[in-house]
Each structure stands twice: as structure tokens, then as C-alpha cells.
Amino acid sequence: MSNQKPDPFQECALIVQQPGKVQDALAKFFMLMLNYRYGLDIMVAHTSVEAFSIIQRYKESDKIRCAIVIQSRRIQNRSALSALNQDDHFPLILVLPAQQLEEQRDLTQRFENVFLCSWEMAANRRDPAAQLVVEAAFARNKIDELFDGIDHISHQELQARIKHRLGNVKVLPTLPEIALRIMAMIEEPDAQAGALEELISSDPAIVHRLLQVVSTPLFAGSGQRAGGWTVQDAILRLGWKKVGVIAQQIKLMNSLVRPQNSAFDLRRFWEHSVGCALIADRLVNENLVMLPAAVNFNDYWISALLHDIGKLLLGFFFWGHFEEVLKQMTADHSTFREAEKELGDIGSHEYLSQLLLLRSNATKEVVEAVGKHHTTGPAPSSLICLVHLANNLCVELGLGYWPEEPARYSETVLKNLRMPPEEVHRLRDMLGKPTVLQIKEVVSRCAHA
């Protein structure tokens, strides 16, 4: 998010933001919507002169799709309005205090592509008015949302669209290359253990932590070795796919670094995510749940591990919004997802998780499971059911992002699993404190210095 020259193929939104605490918060709100719902990169100008210069620079390229002005005073003349949206060439949204907005209205009557939104409307997350202003402006200018029309395209076409539209969005990080290569390898039916061993061994930091993780009682059991394990030993004992996903989670945990301006609890996030993957694995391997159909190991591990990656994106890049969600959870004794809906749902963590995994070439099944682990729909797949169950069991064991977060089991999921509520409670009690301690030990070893 800067005023630097964007990629020539990337469509952008220009935010003209007057300095100030309120203006900063409102800018973040619109950035979240423009980045993730519409796939627009962001350029920021802090003065009208700077904004006019940017607009002139890209006048012939059609890469600026809209402009949003966030300031405490109205714009004084029509020529300035015309310059800010190239004579109605693209939508201009003016975000002003309500009192200033009324005075601005008279000046904008002759413009067809100028839209008004008050500070008060945008700041009230329960009021959808600000979202409706953006939707109306974009609909008029045929600016599509990322998921418009997806019912008629293939998963591969959707992935290509996401990569194109989000290619240069700076607040959607790229997963580490080696983690993506491991993900692709464990999806490949003809891949071999030797190739995975070679790939993992190319990163000594992964090897160091991997050997610490696989030597824990959770993975090694009673098979401790004098002198420790080798990568080959781990593959022979656990299987190359399980070693692969453990190596992948180690790389992710040590590559995604929290920005200084965020108070996101990264340790608790990974305890929940790794815990969800380990619980899902135990549910399957110990036949603790009756799934309607078999699920692939790599699908359920990756889905469970990354089901909440959207929370990390919000916590890293939109901490103010994330903090509002946490406050709403506390006030309503609700889940994170329920609080998101209460605050307008402009970029839910399910939705953001989908985007990141689509951009990372995850399979259709994984993307669907991650995107529906709360809102499971009327006919959830076995993979969705498994991730939903493991996620809620993890929450019940006190490993949610928020300690007091309640579990919410879908009646449809429990019906599909032929699992009455008392059986869920039995599962929770059986897993109990020893499972929590095992999960925390694995996370400590994964992130061990």
C-alpha cells in the first residue's frame, strides 16, 4: 500500500487520505474491502496535489479503477472533483463527516460518478451503508467482485483469476516457496520419498526442527533412538506424506512474521491450527468418527492446518478490525465467525483463507473445506465435516484463538457423522489435557530456536 508505481497490469484503487486517527481507521476499512472483495491494489496519496499527479501519470492506462477521498473537510470546487475522477471516468467516493457531507451534496449533483459516504456510516460496522455505497459505485462501473460468476468456471480458471487479480495486492502474503513445493509434492501421486527427503534436506533449519518434532512421544511413541532420528528414519517410520506436512508447517510457522504494529497472538494461533490438524489425524487414524466417505491424508491435514489462515491475514494487516472482532466476541460471548457477521462481514476469515489457498494452488476440496469450516452448508463433504469437528474440539479444549470462545457444532455435520451431542462430549473428554500438552509441545519444537 503505497504511492509507488504499480505493476502496469495491476488494477488499482487510489485512496486520498488526510492524516489522522479516524482517517487511518476508515482507510483500513476500505482497503480491506477493495483488496479482498475486488482484488484491487492500493495507492495512497496524502494531499490533493499528490493525488492529481498520480491520476495524470496513469491517465492513459485505465489502471486506476476508483478513487476514495477520506478527509474532514469538503472539496470546494467542481474542477477539483472532475480532476479526481477524470470527468466521471471512474467512480469517486467522498468519505466526509456527516455535517460536511450535506454541504458537499450540492456541489456533486451534476456528477454521475461521484458517491457520498459519511464517516459515521463507515465507522459503524453494523451498518452496511458504506458497503452499499461501494457496491453501487462499482456495479455502475462494471467492476466485478472476485467471486462473481464462479458457478460457471472451473477450479483451475478460478485459480487463474485469483492469481491475476491478486497478483500485486501487498497485504496478501505469498506462502514460502519450499512450503508450496512440499504441498505440490504430497499431492502428486507419482512423487517419491527420496525426492521429498532431498527437498527437506535443502533447508537445514527445517531439518533441525523436524527431527525435534518427530522425536516427541506423540510421533515417536516408544521408538526413541539413541543418537536421534534422521530424515530418512522419520520417513520410514511416519510415512513420507506425514513428514512432508510436518516440514511444511515448520516452514510456515517460521516464515510468517508478525508486523510490529499488530498484537496478534501468533503462538496461540499456531497452537489452534496445529492442534486442529493433529486432532483430525487422530480422529481418522483411530476410527473415532464415522465419515460418510474416505478422505485423503494430505487434504485433511492441510485443510485443518490452514483453515484459519485468514485470521492471520486480518491480525497482521488489519489489526484494528481484528481487535474489534475480539471485542465483539467478548461482548456477545460469541464465536469469531459470529462476531464477523455482526460487524458487517466485509472480509471474513473463511473468505480470506480461501483466497490465499486458491492463490497457492490448493485443491478444490481443500479450498472448499477451508472456506466452509464454519458455514458448512446443507450438504457438507466428509472433509468439511472432519475439519469442522476437529476445529470445534480444539476450541472446547481451550485452544481457540480467544480462551473463552464457545464451540458451535453444526447439526448437519453431526447428523452426517451419526454423532449425538453426548458422543462429542465423550470425544472431548477422551482427548483431554494430555492432548493439549502434546499439541503445545509440538508447536514449541516447530518454532524452537
CATH code assigned at 269: 1.10.3210.10
Which among 151, 39, 48, 58 is positioned nearest to 94, based on CA atoms? Answer: 48
pLDDT in tens, 353-406: 999 999 888 999 999 999 999 999 899 999 999 999 999 999 999 998 888 889
The answer to whether 256 and 173 have CB atoms below 8 angstroms apart is yes
| SS3 annotation, 89-115 | CCCEEEEECHHHHHHHHHHHCCCCCEE
Q: For residue 131, what is the DSSP state?
A: H
Per-residue confidence band for 172, with pLDDT thresholds at 50, 70 and 90? confident
Domain assignment present for residue 272? The answer is yes
Contacts (Cβ under 8 Å, ≥6 apart) of 172: 35, 36, 166, 313, 355, 356, 359
Q: Does position 224 have pLDDT exceeding 60, yes or no? A: no
Mean of pLDDT over the chain: 89
Q: What percent of the chain has pLDDT over 90?
A: 61
pLDDT band at 149 (very low <50, low <70, confident <90, very high): confident
Distance between CA 321 and CA 338 in Å, rounded? 14
The x, y and z cell numbers of residue 70, run together, are 477520506
Res 352: pLDDT: 93
Kindly state the cell numbers that stand for 350: 473463511
**Chain centroid to CA 112: how far?**
35
Average pLDDT over residues 219-226: 60
Q: How many domains does the chain have?
A: 2
Residues 6+ apart with CB under 8 A from 346: 29, 32, 33, 37, 125, 131, 321
The answer to whether residue 278 is domain-embedded is yes
For residues 154 and 434, give the distance between their C-alpha atoms in angstroms, rounded to a whole number: 44
In a domain, 234, yes or no: no
Measured in degrees and rounded to the nearest 5, phi and psi for residue 196 equal -65, -45
- pLDDT at position 3 over 60: no
Among 116, 145, 174, identify where a domain stops: 145
Residues 295 and 426 in one domain: yes
| Domain stop point among 145, 168, 188 | 145
pLDDT value for 257: 86
Burial of 203 (0-12, 13-18, 19+ CB in 10 A): middle
- Is the pLDDT at 9 greater than 60? The verdict is no
Residues 347, 399, 346, CA angle at the centre, nearest 5°?
5
pLDDT, tens digit (0-9, with 9 covering 90-100), for 69-78: 999 999 988 8
* Structural domain that includes position 123: 12-145
User: What single-letter amino acid sits at 322?
Assistant: F
Residues 276 and 136 occupy one common structural domain: no
Report which DSSP code applies to 281: H
Statement to judge: residues 127 and 262 lie in one domain: no
- Looking at 100, 124, 145, which one is the last position of a domain? 145
Determine the pLDDT at residue 110. Answer: 86
Per-residue pLDDT of 70-112, as tens digits, reads 999 999 888 999 999 999 999 999 999 999 988 898 889 889 9
pTM beyond 0.85: yes
* Structural domain includes residue 242: no
Please give the Cα distance from 132 to 379 (Å, whole number).
31
| Residue 185 is assigned to a structural domain of this protein | no
Question: Would 166 be classed as within a structural domain?
Answer: no
Q: Is residue 198 part of a domain?
A: no
On the question of pLDDT at 251 being above 80, the answer is yes
Whether 102 is covered by a domain: the verdict is yes
> For the segment 112-132, what is each residue's pLDDT rounded down to a tens digit?
999 999 999 888 878 888 999
Mean pLDDT, rounded, for 430-445:
93
Give the span between the Cα atoms of 340 and 311, in whole angstroms: 11
